[in-house]
Chains A and B, each alone.
Chain A
Amino acid sequence: MSTRPEKPAEESGEKPTAVTTTKGAGASAEREPILEVRDLVKHFPLTQGILVKRQIGAVKAVDGISFDLYPGETLGIVGESGCGKSTVAKLLMHLERPTSGTIKYKGEDITHLSGRALREVRRNIQMVFQDPYTSLNPRMTVGDIIGEPFDIHPDVAPKGDRRRKVQELLDVVGLNPEYINRYPHQFSGGQRQRIGIARGLALRPEIIVADEPVSALDVSVQAQVVNLMEKLQDEFGLSYMFIAHDLSIVRHISDRVGVMYLGKMAEIGTDEQIYEHPTHPYTQALLSAVPVPDPEARDGRERIVLEGDVPSPANPPSGCRFRTRCWKATDKCAEEVPLLAVPETFAGQDTPAAHPSACHFAEEKAAVVAA
């Protein structure tokens, strides 16, 4: 199970993943990225044995991801369960140590920071969690939860000032500042998520990594939380990394979107490029699955139904990760790992299809896009 014959070829093919800044991304090309992620890899070792642990393989949760995040923008990451979205978030938050690759914050390598330096960086990168029912400590009051960042970073707010700061934060996220002494179980899911957002904002970070922040909420509440996040972005100039599996929410909030499949980035571009002009077969399949409310618009739209299941990330296919389920797959796909780069067909052209796509046979497929 551990070694497979094609592994060396796979590894050598993976190294030179292309940089993803694109001409198509327009304005972002001139600005300095606030966060640069290059070739980020996280393998979770699979071990056997009780006392003497032997590594028998690895779950390749994230396998060479590169992207940039610009100040004030929202980068959406979509992909199905188990594709490594949440692992990327944890790596950015230093909640997991990457196997290899680099994370740069404002040009400074923060991948292997620890201790005091790491704490300083944490002030600028904060996280909003998926499940508002487990992300708030049930034994702490709202005031203690939102005030905890100030306890850990005492220099941000003087002690006498904290209660007022916490009440301000409650106000900012649309909760009554009088709720400061209540416990999380007295709030609804949407209100709890607001508390989580207030905790993330407490240190005035520049980047917020939101790992499926609305997936656990009712649809009506989802919109409220997303609107709140947009409002806060304008107010505080935040950069968001917004992870979700809901394509329409991601389109609503994101400036740019990255599509992940099995630990790799399949396609990345502006929301128009991804949603209107996808060139990667996986993105096309995902979009074709989005339900269309208008029955008339459904006519003439092709529904791509993928066969089989997502392969195990412990034993991913050689070459292109998607080839086992792709209708275009050829021998080339099994041998060569497609790089995330603007496809040759579109290179140099000024079309929305000219954005990085990790496919040997990238092309537009008009019929899948719901107009």
Chain B
Amino acid sequence: MSQQPQSPQPFQPPAIGGPGGAMELAETEGQGLEHPEGGPDGGGPRERGRSLWSDAWHDLRRNPVFVIAGLLIVFLVLISLWPGLITSADPLSCDLGRSLQESSSGHWFGFNAQGCDVYTRVVHGARTSVTVGVCATLGVAVLGGLLGGLAGFLGGVWDAVLSRVTDIFFGIPIVLGGLVFLSMTGSRSVWTVVAFIVLLGWPQIARIARGAVMTAKQNDYVLAARALGASNTRMLVRHILPNAVAPVIVTATIALGTYIALEATLSFLGVGLQPPTVSWGADISAASEGMQFRNAPHILVYPAIALSLTVLAFIMLGDAVRDALDPKLR
């Protein structure tokens, strides 16, 4: 954002050019009342110029939950971008002769029913999950934020109509909706699943965004901007959105984990991703076919652990961000 004051400097009583009457008050405030530099915490870093975001970042770096979740997510993003970093095998080159073989040196997670290396498939599945999670969350945040924000800002008839539409979409059970909609599509790619999640996921964010915009709209600084003659666009962009975006970010971060789980659920139910796309959900689904995992639990356990860790990491991240952005917890 904008640059901060270069160095803390001794408080100087403000120079007032006016006649005597005002001098005394300037001096009293200079000496007695709390001013930024003379705060109770003295010379610590807290007193420096900070926005809410830099305060939040300051808190987050000291939060072990955030650090653990963050490291996990960085690792996940790295292997989904370059799976070759930790595996050199091709997840699609399988040898039926090694079907359901247990773990061995060189193949730590063993082989699945098709004779594919489970470790390689788990590593390559990260890309699908991260793509679905991140893209679905972005889509939901943009669509939900836009519609919810408009409803909150415009109010009146717009709010009534948009809110009812939100309620209608909110009422559709997401897994049931997935079974109906996705089973009608012929071939499903990652983008089909992302589009579906955005279509049914946006109402959650829209409600949060609407509430946040309505709260921000009532603040006196919005009135002050209007009293200055600010346009609607200016009030929205400079005053309302920056103050309404925090709850949307928090909800979206937590939702990201659940979207990854949702993709796995849909793939498990057979309406999500199809081979040859490598997906943890599809692998879990394959493992449960014909109860194969009774004899070879490793084909179920490893993708399930990867999925749980990923979902957990994103939900922990969302929790930590929420705590850091909530001014009431300060």
Contacts and interface: CB of A to CB of B under 8 A. Distances in A.
Contacts of A224: 25, 28-29
A137 B228 contact: no
B3 A181 contact: yes
Contacts of A143: 2
A230 B20 CA distance: 12
B234 A182 contact: no
Interface in A116-169: 118-119, 122-123, 126-127, 129-131, 134-141, 143-144, 148-149, 151-153
B229 A139 contact: no
Interface centre among A144, A149, A196, A223 (most CB of B within 10 A): A149
B11 interface: yes
Nearest to B161: A51
B18 A231 contact: yes
Interface in A183-197: 183, 186-188, 190-191, 196
Contacts of B3: 181
B220 A130 contact: yes
Given A137-B221, A138-B243, A152 B228 contact: yes
Contacts, number: 135
A280 interface: no
B168 interface: no
A188 B33 contact: yes
B230 interface: yes
B68 interface: no
Say which size band chain B's interface belongs to.
35 or more
B36 interface: yes
A238 to B, nearest CB: 13
Interface residues of A, number: 59
Interface string B10-49: 0110111111011001101100011110000000000101
A134 B224 CA distance: 10
Contacts of A94: 227
B265 to A, nearest CB: 36
A203 B160 CA distance: 38
Contacts of B227: 93-95, 122, 126-127
Contacts of A178: 5, 9
A140 B26 CA distance: 25
Given A186-B49, A221-B33, A181 B21 contact: no
A199 B243 CA distance: 20
A350 B50 CA distance: 61
A58 interface: no
Contacts of A249: none
Contacts of A327: none
B88 interface: no
B14 A176 contact: yes
B21 A227 contact: yes
Q: What 4 pairs between A and B have smallest CB-CB spacing? A: A135-B220, A119-B229, A231-B22, A224-B25
20 contacts: A94-B227, A126-B228, A127-B223, A127-B227, A130-B220, A136-B221, A139-B52, A140-B238, A141-B2, A144-B2, A148-B238, A152-B234, A153-B228, A174-B29, A176-B12, A186-B50, A188-B33, A199-B228, A221-B29, A234-B19
Given A152-B230, A172-B16, A174-B14, 17 more contacts: A129-B220, A137-B219, A137-B238, A139-B242, A151-B234, A152-B228, A175-B14, A178-B5, A178-B9, A181-B3, A186-B36, A187-B36, A190-B29, A223-B25, A227-B22, A228-B22, A230-B21
